[in-house]
Amino acid sequence: MVADAPCRRFGLSRIDYLLPIVAAGSGASGVDEERGEDMNAWPQGIGAITLFVEDLASAKRFYQDVFGLPVTFEDDNSAVFDFGNTIINLLATTAAPELIAPATVAPPEAGARVQLTIRVDDVDAICAELTRRGAELLNGPIDRPWGIRTASFRDPGGHIWEIAK
């Protein structure tokens, strides 16, 4: 079972504790007159991404070392990092089935099914820094045909991260 004592301490569900409140954006009315629904209510952005990891301690160290971020919340099964408008929740695979049932947790050997992209000002400089911090580049820096420069690396859980300008 996913430990949720800190959430209870604040009177919140686990998801309410992890998800930041995203302010409504555009200022347009956003009301669907035909249905009478407020279209600004959802979606307003991605507040959290949960990544399943086999070795929480190793993944936590990687995120601290490579991204240089502090842990903003942790318990026996998770470690959360704040990436600005989105938090990344590293969740032990042993706790994941409860979250996604009846779906199953795929092993890392199943292959990549997601790529997370971070915009940067200088891909080459960030690649040098990532390498210095222990990340191994999968590719790049490379100029893509669609007009951006990218590079990719993998975290210990097998998740692919891309930096792009």
0.85 cut: is pTM over it? no
Name the amino acid, one letter, at 152: S
Tokens 């590719």: give the residue: 139
**Alpha carbon separation from 120 to 83, 89, 95 (Å, rounded):** 13, 22, 33
- Which residues, listed in sequence order, are joined to residue 154 by a DSSP beta bridge? 160
Q: In what order do the strands lie in the sheet with 71-74?
A: 48-53, 87-92, 78-82, 71-74
Q: Which DSSP category does 68 fall into?
A: -
Q: Where are the domains of the chain?
A: 1-17+46-100, 112-165
**26-57 residue pLDDT tens:** 344 556 566 666 656 667 778 999 999 999 99
CATH superfamily membership of 1-17+46-100? 2,3-Dihydroxybiphenyl 1,2-Dioxygenase, domain 1 (3.10.180.10)
Regions of the chain with pLDDT less than 50: 1-28
Q: How far is CA 67 from the centre of its chain?
A: 12
Pairing of strands 37-38, 31-32: antiparallel
> Same CATH fold, 112-165 and 1-17+46-100?
no
- Report the pLDDT value the prediction gives residue 113, as an integer from 0 to 100: 80
Fold assignment, 112-165: 3.30.720
Q: How far is CA 112 from the centre of its chain?
A: 15
- Report the pLDDT value the prediction gives residue 108, as an integer from 0 to 100: 86
